[in-house]
Amino acid sequence: MKLLNGLELAGYIKERQAKQVRSLRQAFNIYPKLAIIVTIDHPAIETYVRLKQAYGQDILVDVDVYKIQQEQVNETLKQLNQSSKVQAIIIQLPLANPLETDQIINLINPSKDVDGLSLKSEFESATPMAILWLLGGYNIELNNKNILLVGQGKLVGAPLLKILNSSGIEPTVADKSTQNLKSLSLQADLIITATGTKGLITSDMLKPGAIVVDAGVASEEAKIFGDVDVSVYDTRDDLTITPLKGGVGPLTVCALFENVIRACQKQLES
Protein backbone atom coordinates (compact mmCIF):
# COMPACT_ATOMS: atom_id res chain seq x y z
CA MET A 1 0.00 0.00 0.00
CA LYS A 2 1.28 3.40 -0.97
CA LEU A 3 0.11 6.28 1.21
CA LEU A 4 -0.57 9.77 -0.16
CA ASN A 5 0.94 11.68 2.75
CA GLY A 6 -0.30 15.26 2.81
CA LEU A 7 1.77 16.14 5.87
CA GLU A 8 5.05 15.89 3.93
CA LEU A 9 3.85 18.25 1.20
CA ALA A 10 2.28 20.58 3.77
CA GLY A 11 5.64 21.12 5.43
CA TYR A 12 7.19 22.54 2.24
CA ILE A 13 4.17 24.73 1.52
CA LYS A 14 4.08 26.05 5.08
CA GLU A 15 7.74 27.06 4.92
CA ARG A 16 7.14 29.03 1.71
CA GLN A 17 4.03 30.69 3.12
CA ALA A 18 5.86 31.79 6.28
CA LYS A 19 8.42 33.59 4.09
CA GLN A 20 5.64 35.25 2.07
CA VAL A 21 3.92 36.48 5.24
CA ARG A 22 7.19 37.83 6.65
CA SER A 23 7.67 39.75 3.42
CA LEU A 24 4.14 41.20 3.59
CA ARG A 25 4.68 42.31 7.19
CA GLN A 26 8.23 43.65 6.88
CA ALA A 27 8.29 45.13 3.38
CA PHE A 28 4.70 46.31 2.98
CA ASN A 29 3.30 46.72 6.53
CA ILE A 30 0.46 44.32 5.72
CA TYR A 31 -0.46 42.15 8.68
CA PRO A 32 -2.57 39.23 7.36
CA LYS A 33 -5.75 38.61 9.32
CA LEU A 34 -8.33 35.83 8.90
CA ALA A 35 -11.74 36.17 10.58
CA ILE A 36 -13.66 32.96 11.32
CA ILE A 37 -17.37 33.16 12.16
CA VAL A 38 -18.78 30.25 14.20
CA THR A 39 -22.47 29.85 15.09
CA ILE A 40 -22.59 26.33 16.53
CA ASP A 41 -20.83 24.37 19.29
CA HIS A 42 -19.49 21.07 18.00
CA PRO A 43 -16.30 19.12 18.82
CA ALA A 44 -15.34 18.74 15.14
CA ILE A 45 -15.77 22.47 14.50
CA GLU A 46 -13.67 23.30 17.56
CA THR A 47 -10.94 21.01 16.21
CA TYR A 48 -10.96 22.65 12.79
CA VAL A 49 -10.84 26.14 14.27
CA ARG A 50 -7.95 25.22 16.57
CA LEU A 51 -6.01 23.80 13.62
CA LYS A 52 -6.46 27.04 11.70
CA GLN A 53 -5.46 29.14 14.69
CA ALA A 54 -2.33 27.05 15.26
CA TYR A 55 -1.35 27.18 11.58
CA GLY A 56 -1.91 30.93 11.46
CA GLN A 57 0.26 31.38 14.53
CA ASP A 58 3.05 29.35 12.92
CA ILE A 59 3.18 31.52 9.77
CA LEU A 60 2.31 34.83 11.52
CA VAL A 61 -1.26 35.22 10.22
CA ASP A 62 -3.64 36.54 12.88
CA VAL A 63 -6.78 34.41 13.23
CA ASP A 64 -9.75 36.03 14.99
CA VAL A 65 -12.70 33.79 15.92
CA TYR A 66 -16.20 35.24 16.31
CA LYS A 67 -18.49 32.85 18.21
CA ILE A 68 -21.87 34.49 17.74
CA GLN A 69 -25.56 33.79 17.30
CA GLN A 70 -26.65 33.37 13.71
CA GLU A 71 -28.83 36.48 13.87
CA GLN A 72 -25.66 38.49 14.56
CA VAL A 73 -23.83 37.25 11.46
CA ASN A 74 -25.11 39.88 9.02
CA GLU A 75 -23.96 42.81 11.15
CA THR A 76 -20.62 41.14 11.95
CA LEU A 77 -20.00 40.47 8.27
CA LYS A 78 -20.79 44.06 7.41
CA GLN A 79 -18.09 45.25 9.82
CA LEU A 80 -15.53 42.68 8.67
CA ASN A 81 -16.20 43.39 4.99
CA GLN A 82 -15.48 47.09 5.58
CA SER A 83 -12.36 46.63 7.70
CA SER A 84 -9.10 47.16 5.81
CA LYS A 85 -7.33 45.23 8.58
CA VAL A 86 -9.24 42.01 7.76
CA GLN A 87 -8.23 40.55 4.40
CA ALA A 88 -9.97 37.17 4.72
CA ILE A 89 -13.28 35.88 6.09
CA ILE A 90 -14.76 32.40 6.40
CA ILE A 91 -18.01 31.07 7.82
CA GLN A 92 -17.28 27.82 9.65
CA LEU A 93 -19.96 25.44 8.40
CA PRO A 94 -22.42 24.10 9.27
CA LEU A 95 -24.43 27.06 10.50
CA ALA A 96 -26.89 26.72 13.37
CA ASN A 97 -29.61 27.10 10.72
CA PRO A 98 -28.19 25.54 7.53
CA LEU A 99 -31.13 26.81 5.45
CA GLU A 100 -29.52 30.26 5.46
CA THR A 101 -26.10 29.03 4.29
CA ASP A 102 -26.20 30.33 0.70
CA GLN A 103 -27.70 33.66 1.70
CA ILE A 104 -25.07 34.30 4.40
CA ILE A 105 -22.07 33.11 2.40
CA ASN A 106 -22.99 35.43 -0.45
CA LEU A 107 -22.79 38.39 1.95
CA ILE A 108 -19.00 37.93 2.22
CA ASN A 109 -16.98 40.39 0.16
CA PRO A 110 -15.84 38.27 -2.86
CA SER A 111 -12.28 39.59 -2.42
CA LYS A 112 -12.28 38.24 1.17
CA ASP A 113 -14.13 34.94 0.63
CA VAL A 114 -11.09 32.68 0.98
CA ASP A 115 -13.25 29.54 1.27
CA GLY A 116 -14.32 30.19 -2.31
CA LEU A 117 -17.96 29.37 -1.62
CA SER A 118 -19.85 32.51 -2.62
CA LEU A 119 -21.12 32.97 -6.16
CA LYS A 120 -18.64 35.76 -6.94
CA SER A 121 -15.68 34.61 -4.84
CA GLU A 122 -12.26 35.42 -6.28
CA PHE A 123 -10.77 32.20 -4.88
CA GLU A 124 -10.94 28.46 -5.45
CA SER A 125 -12.24 26.29 -2.60
CA ALA A 126 -9.55 25.04 -0.25
CA THR A 127 -10.29 21.29 -0.18
CA PRO A 128 -10.43 20.83 -3.97
CA MET A 129 -7.15 22.77 -4.19
CA ALA A 130 -5.69 20.46 -1.54
CA ILE A 131 -6.78 17.33 -3.42
CA LEU A 132 -5.18 18.53 -6.64
CA TRP A 133 -2.00 19.55 -4.80
CA LEU A 134 -1.82 16.09 -3.23
CA LEU A 135 -2.27 14.28 -6.56
CA GLY A 136 0.20 16.63 -8.25
CA GLY A 137 2.73 16.18 -5.45
CA TYR A 138 2.74 12.43 -6.10
CA ASN A 139 2.84 12.89 -9.91
CA ILE A 140 -0.55 11.27 -10.42
CA GLU A 141 -1.70 12.08 -13.96
CA LEU A 142 -5.44 12.71 -14.32
CA ASN A 143 -5.94 12.95 -18.06
CA ASN A 144 -5.63 9.24 -18.83
CA LYS A 145 -7.68 7.90 -15.92
CA ASN A 146 -11.24 6.77 -15.31
CA ILE A 147 -12.08 9.09 -12.40
CA LEU A 148 -15.05 8.67 -10.07
CA LEU A 149 -16.06 11.63 -7.94
CA VAL A 150 -18.32 10.54 -5.07
CA GLY A 151 -20.30 13.37 -3.49
CA GLN A 152 -21.56 16.67 -4.83
CA GLY A 153 -21.38 18.82 -1.71
CA LYS A 154 -20.84 22.57 -1.58
CA LEU A 155 -17.40 22.32 0.07
CA VAL A 156 -15.69 19.66 -2.03
CA GLY A 157 -17.54 17.74 -4.73
CA ALA A 158 -19.25 20.57 -6.60
CA PRO A 159 -16.28 22.98 -6.72
CA LEU A 160 -13.85 20.15 -7.55
CA LEU A 161 -16.04 19.06 -10.47
CA LYS A 162 -16.03 22.64 -11.73
CA ILE A 163 -12.22 22.85 -11.57
CA LEU A 164 -11.77 19.48 -13.30
CA ASN A 165 -14.26 20.34 -16.04
CA SER A 166 -12.48 23.65 -16.67
CA SER A 167 -9.29 21.62 -17.29
CA GLY A 168 -11.07 19.38 -19.78
CA ILE A 169 -11.39 16.45 -17.35
CA GLU A 170 -14.84 14.86 -17.07
CA PRO A 171 -15.10 12.43 -14.15
CA THR A 172 -18.02 10.12 -13.53
CA VAL A 173 -20.09 11.62 -10.72
CA ALA A 174 -22.00 9.76 -8.01
CA ASP A 175 -24.23 11.16 -5.28
CA LYS A 176 -27.02 10.05 -2.90
CA SER A 177 -29.28 9.11 -5.79
CA THR A 178 -26.72 6.79 -7.45
CA GLN A 179 -27.96 3.20 -7.38
CA ASN A 180 -24.91 1.40 -8.80
CA LEU A 181 -22.05 2.92 -6.81
CA LYS A 182 -20.18 -0.38 -6.49
CA SER A 183 -20.21 -1.08 -10.22
CA LEU A 184 -18.98 2.47 -10.91
CA SER A 185 -16.24 2.29 -8.29
CA LEU A 186 -14.96 -1.05 -9.58
CA GLN A 187 -14.31 0.58 -12.96
CA ALA A 188 -12.51 3.62 -11.52
CA ASP A 189 -8.74 4.07 -11.64
CA LEU A 190 -9.04 7.03 -9.27
CA ILE A 191 -11.79 7.57 -6.70
CA ILE A 192 -12.17 10.91 -4.95
CA THR A 193 -14.80 10.64 -2.24
CA ALA A 194 -16.23 13.43 -0.08
CA THR A 195 -19.68 12.51 1.24
CA GLY A 196 -19.17 12.53 5.01
CA THR A 197 -20.63 9.00 5.21
CA LYS A 198 -18.57 6.82 7.54
CA GLY A 199 -17.31 3.64 5.88
CA LEU A 200 -19.13 4.20 2.58
CA ILE A 201 -16.26 2.85 0.44
CA THR A 202 -15.42 -0.77 1.30
CA SER A 203 -12.67 -3.08 0.10
CA ASP A 204 -14.88 -4.99 -2.36
CA MET A 205 -15.68 -1.72 -4.17
CA LEU A 206 -12.10 -1.06 -5.29
CA LYS A 207 -10.38 -2.48 -8.36
CA PRO A 208 -6.80 -3.80 -8.06
CA GLY A 209 -4.27 -0.96 -7.97
CA ALA A 210 -6.88 1.78 -7.53
CA ILE A 211 -5.97 5.26 -6.29
CA VAL A 212 -8.27 6.51 -3.51
CA VAL A 213 -8.46 10.05 -2.12
CA ASP A 214 -10.71 10.24 0.94
CA ALA A 215 -11.81 13.82 1.64
CA GLY A 216 -14.94 12.80 3.56
CA VAL A 217 -15.39 13.82 7.17
CA ALA A 218 -17.90 12.14 9.48
CA SER A 219 -18.11 12.80 13.21
CA GLU A 220 -19.19 10.14 15.68
CA GLU A 221 -18.82 10.42 19.47
CA ALA A 222 -16.27 13.24 19.02
CA LYS A 223 -14.15 11.06 16.70
CA ILE A 224 -13.52 11.85 13.03
CA PHE A 225 -13.95 9.22 10.32
CA GLY A 226 -13.58 9.22 6.55
CA ASP A 227 -15.68 7.78 3.73
CA VAL A 228 -13.29 4.83 3.34
CA ASP A 229 -13.94 1.95 5.72
CA VAL A 230 -11.01 1.42 8.08
CA SER A 231 -10.85 -2.30 7.18
CA VAL A 232 -9.60 -1.33 3.71
CA TYR A 233 -6.25 -0.42 5.26
CA ASP A 234 -5.86 -3.92 6.70
CA THR A 235 -7.03 -5.91 3.69
CA ARG A 236 -5.66 -4.15 0.60
CA ASP A 237 -1.91 -3.79 -0.04
CA ASP A 238 -2.31 -2.91 -3.71
CA LEU A 239 -3.87 0.54 -3.29
CA THR A 240 -2.49 4.06 -3.45
CA ILE A 241 -4.56 5.82 -0.80
CA THR A 242 -4.72 8.73 1.61
CA PRO A 243 -3.86 7.67 5.19
CA LEU A 244 -6.41 7.58 8.00
CA LYS A 245 -4.85 10.83 9.23
CA GLY A 246 -2.67 13.33 7.42
CA GLY A 247 -3.99 13.00 3.87
CA VAL A 248 -6.09 15.82 2.44
CA GLY A 249 -6.65 17.57 5.79
CA PRO A 250 -3.22 19.20 6.32
CA LEU A 251 -3.19 20.45 2.73
CA THR A 252 -6.69 21.89 3.08
CA VAL A 253 -5.43 24.17 5.84
CA CYS A 254 -2.44 25.08 3.63
CA ALA A 255 -4.75 25.88 0.73
CA LEU A 256 -6.95 28.08 2.90
CA PHE A 257 -3.95 30.13 4.03
CA GLU A 258 -2.69 30.24 0.44
CA ASN A 259 -5.92 32.11 -0.31
CA VAL A 260 -5.41 34.37 2.72
CA ILE A 261 -1.96 35.31 1.42
CA ARG A 262 -3.38 35.92 -2.07
CA ALA A 263 -6.06 38.15 -0.56
CA CYS A 264 -3.31 40.22 1.07
CA GLN A 265 -1.39 40.43 -2.21
CA LYS A 266 -4.58 41.59 -3.96
CA GLN A 267 -5.00 44.28 -1.29
CA LEU A 268 -1.43 45.36 -1.99
CA GLU A 269 -2.18 45.65 -5.73
CA SER A 270 -5.41 47.59 -5.32
Torsion from C-alpha of 188, 191, 197, 203, nearest 10 degrees: 60
Please give the Cα distance from 220 to 218 (Å, whole number): 7
- Under the banding of pLDDT at 50, 70 and 90, the label for residue 224 is confident
User: What residue ranges do the domains of the chain occupy?
Assistant: 27-112, 126-249
The 10s digit of each residue's pLDDT in 192-203 is 999 999 999 999
Q: Indicate the fold that domain 126-249 takes in CATH.
A: Rossmann fold (3.40.50)
Q: Of 41-45, 211-215, 249-253, where does the model show the most confidence?
A: 211-215
Average pLDDT over residues 111-134: 94
pLDDT band with cut points at 50, 70 and 90 for residue 222: low
Residue 48 pLDDT: 86
Per-residue pLDDT at 42: 83
- Round to whole Å and give the CA distance between 212 and 196: 15
For 137-176, write each residue's pLDDT tens digit.
Answer: 999 999 989 999 999 988 899 999 999 999 999 999 999 8
Q: What is the DSSP string of 13-71?
A: HHHHHHHHHHHHHHHH----EEEEEE-S--HHHHHHHHHHHHHHHHHT-EEEEEE--GG
Question: Is the separation of the CB atoms in 206 and 33 below 8 Å?
Answer: no
Same fold, 27-112 and 126-249: yes
Tens of pLDDT along 36-87?
999 999 887 888 899 999 999 999 999 999 999 999 999 999 999 999 999 9
Q: What is the pTM of this model?
A: 0.89
As a whole-number percent, the residues of the chain with pLDDT over 70 amount to 99
Determine the pLDDT at residue 47: 85
Q: Which CATH number fits domain 27-112: 3.40.1400.10, 1.20.1250.20, 3.40.50.10860, 3.30.750.24?
A: 3.40.50.10860
